[in-house]
Amino acid sequence: MSREKELLRKEMMPHMLCPGCGHGIVMGAMLRVLSRRFETLDDVVLVAGIGCSSRIVGYIDACTLHTTHGRALTFATGIKLARPDLTVIVVTGDGDGLSIGGNHFLHAARRNVGLTCVLFNNETYGMTGGQLAPTTVLNAYTSTSPDGNTEPAFDAANLAIAAGATFVARGQAFRTDALEDLFDQALDNDGFSFLDVMTDCTEYFVRKNSLGHGSDALFSQGSVDEEIQCDLAAGPTLRAADGWPTRDILPTGVLHRASRPSLSARLELAGQAAR
């Protein structure tokens, strides 16, 4: 049995992810990094809110907490302040983390809470019916935008940088080798680390917009990655019909790195000064 499989909760299998969903690919990348960094996951806490991506914490045999919708970062902040020695990882989706949880996201970055937030960005509410999300691209069809989305999408990485995160990166389910490296670097950062991961929803976003199958969505990610110079980048693009805009070229890799004390470090200094 591989080391990664040993970190899974066997009783939770088979998983509930849809065929072709990139979430499983991203979870695999996370497991490979965790298996290399830790002998056991006894000192690793995974916190999630509500959504398809949030179910992933139940599959990994670490200390896990499944919280209410949009509140994962607040629970994780409390855990990190109470036990700064723990490695705290938040798994969230674009709806969970940027819509109902948007305010918590901004302030976790502002405070520079020493945790890693991994946002599974599938451009829709995948678990609750395929509704419009803060990251849905213009003109995309969803269950709540049957005539096409008229709202501009959030760039979650830019939002994290503006809010004060000290490590910000973007990866793709399409490139697991690069994703593992980014996840490693995020865990090395002492402050708030944010990793925006592109992983398409095959059942709602891809099918609703006539974009083919799961593999077509992965090819689409490659076609808009400015760093990819291979034949795969010439594969299907995200275009459903005339007038549908192809995805903008999105920068991937490490987008921002800064150095400033984490919230835990500042509180420790304040406590020492008070004594």
pLDDT by 10-residue block (mean), the chain, 275 residues: 81 85 91 94 95 89 91 96 96 91 95 97 81 85 86 91 97 91 97 94 78 69 56 44 52 93 90 79
Residue 3 located in a structural domain? no
pTM: 0.89
* Pairing of β 167-172 and β 253-257: antiparallel
With respect to residue 125, please indicate whether it lies within any of the assigned structural domains: yes
Q: 189 and 167 in contact (C-beta within 8 Å)?
A: yes
Q: Which residues 6+ apart lie within 8 Å of 224 measured at CB?
A: 237, 238, 246, 247, 248, 249, 250
Domain CATH number, residue 67: 3.40.50.970
| Cα–Cα distance, 166 to 267 (Å, whole number) | 18
Number of structural domains, the chain? Answer: 1
**Domain-embedded: residue 79:** yes
**Which domain covers residue 216, as residue numbers?**
18-274
Phi, psi of 158, rounded to the nearest 5 degrees: -65, -35
* Whole-number pLDDT of residue 263: 92
* pLDDT of the residue at 249: 65
